[in-house]
Amino acid sequence: MNRFRITLAALSVFAILSAPALGQTREQWIELGARIHGAFGAFIPVGIRIGLDAREKLKADPRGLTVVYYNGDKPPCPCVADGVMLATGASPGQGTLQISPEKAPPGAMAVIVIKNRKTGEGLKYTIADAWLAKILGWNKSDPAGRYDAAMAAEGLFTSESVAP
């Protein structure tokens, strides 16, 4: 009986982490983000957007990416990293998602380096400090509004190639 429970728990975790492969709807991203992070604040969809962008541009399978997250001095926490985790399938437990003890450079709210595990090809995403107040303002809307704002925000981040 214990093996069955452990297997069922392992399958549940696998289903959650493999969710990025399934092409989530807005409502599913909101539900998943709230379940994993504890709430669906405005930083979660920012991370989801970056993770989806990286998966598409790096042509990676779910869980085929590594992520290193550099938090800036101003944000309250690296919540964006949880959104990136949801969209990429990278995880701290697998060692494919790391929160760096080093800070993002001045002027950056966050820097996220995402690499394809097979090819080594990578992208560096930077969210400027100037976005912090705007993103925090999105918390005044409901979760759907937060998601929509993050997905539609032009210039939310910059990305550049990283050498393998």
Let me know how long the chain is.
164
Q: What six digits make up the tokens of 122?
A: 């990578």
Contact of 113 with 64, CB cutoff 8 Å: no
pLDDT at 76 (0 to 100): 65
Domain boundaries defined on the chain:
2-162
C-alpha closest to that of 52 among 12, 93, 24: 24
- Residue 75: pLDDT band (50, 70, 90) is low
Q: What six digits make up the tokens of 72?
A: 């800036």
C-alpha closest to that of 96 among 35, 54, 127, 129: 54
**Per-residue burial over 142-156, b = 16 or more CB atoms within 10 Å of its CB, e = otherwise:** ebeebbebbeebeeb
What's the CATH number of domain 2-162, 3.30.1330.130, 3.30.70.20, 2.130.10.10, 3.90.79.10? 3.30.1330.130
Give the pTM.
0.84
Residue type, 55: R
- Residue 81: pLDDT band (50, 70, 90) is very high
What percent of the chain lies above the pLDDT cut of 70? 85
